[in-house]
Amino acid sequence: MSLNSHLKKYGIQHFETDEYWTWVTRKLKQKRTMELSRLREPLQSGVATDHERAAFYDYIARQPVAGVVHSMKADAIRASGSFAAHHLGGRREVLDIGCSLGYLTTWFAQLQGVERVVGLDASARTIREAQKFSQQSDISSCEFIHGKFENWSNEQCFDAIVSCQMLYNSEDLNRTLGAVRERLKPEGILISIEAAPTAEGGRAYLEALSDAELCVVQFDWVMYNDLGRLGAYLGFVVAREGQPAALNIEAEYKNILRKLR
């Protein structure tokens, strides 16, 4: 099964044009569309409280809202999952932080060589929905846990930790990256796929990784096309030790901006 086919099981469909918005109206009807807009507004303003943030993520955990919301970035999800899967070869135990509904967590669990995947998310409702789907799909190698990664009391270490747009937006990045290092096995890797829109943001993230004594060993852009618009995430493979990748972040941003125009 392809990753796109897997995502469709979660109601996530890829749209290459603005036809998506017509589909949204048909799928959600006016009442749900208005409620979604109301709950999203505080997040878009950048001043959402913890309660407002929780209300939004709890609401979008429900179908059909979940499928509609995540379909807006379906190709970004596919590209992120493909990038992570490419680097998970030989990694037996995987932690997926900020796992949302587990659409990638359950995909990773079906990769050859992967024996166990733990999905962690701060939304209790989202985790309940993720558990329900994995049970219905009979994916027994997945475990879903509610909680914030930096506050997680479990001391287990993993062969790989995956972050899809979670770490860069962490409220306390230095503390969170310190927790990442502590939970990686000596030969473990962090696969970090992050949305940093500026070179300054990318450079600050690299500095935070270095401060946490984490080494970027591979880098590539994770490119996607949603609703007819090209975009790209930073894609890092990070280790506790290793040969640092030769990386000029300013030059990388200049190159990707030319490709996206």
Question: Residues 108-154: pLDDT tens digits?
Answer: 999 999 999 999 999 999 999 999 999 998 898 999 999 989 888 77
Q: How confident is the model at residue 213 (pLDDT cuts 50, 70, 90)?
A: very high
Is pLDDT of 252 > 90?
yes
Q: What is the pLDDT of residue 140?
A: 87
> CA neighbours within 13 Å on the CB side: how many for 198?
3
- Model pLDDT, residue 233: 97
Residue 244: other Cβ atoms inside 10 A: 10
Give 75's strand partners. none
pTM of the model: 0.94
**Residue 236's pLDDT band (boundaries 50, 70, 90)?**
very high
Domain range 74-260, CATH class: alpha beta
Give just the sign of the alpha carbon dihedral 238, 244, 245, 247: positive
CA distance readout (Å), 89 to 84, 93, 111, 115: 9, 11, 8, 11
The confidence score (pLDDT) of residue 192 equals: 98
Q: Is the pLDDT of residue 259 over 80?
A: yes
CA gyration radius, the chain: 18
∠ CA 193-28-17 to the nearest 5 degrees? 55
Give the pLDDT score at 127.
Answer: 96
Question: 140 or 161: which carries more pLDDT confidence?
Answer: 161
What does the pLDDT look like over 47-98, one tens digit per residue? 888 889 889 999 999 899 999 999 999 999 999 999 999 999 889 999 999 9
Beta bridge partners of 142: 117
Dump pLDDT digits (tens) for 12-56.
Answer: 999 999 999 999 999 998 899 999 999 999 988 878 888 898 899
Kindly report, as residue ranges, where domains of CATH 3.40.50.150 are found in the chain: 74-260
SS (H, E, C) 147-190: CCHHHCCCCCCEEEEEEECCCCCCCCHHHHHHHHHHHEEEEEEE
Contact 101, 66 (CB under 8 A): yes
**DSSP letter string, 45-103:** HT---HHHHHHHHHHTTSTTHHHHHHHTTHHHHHHHHHHHHHH-TT--EEEEET-TTST
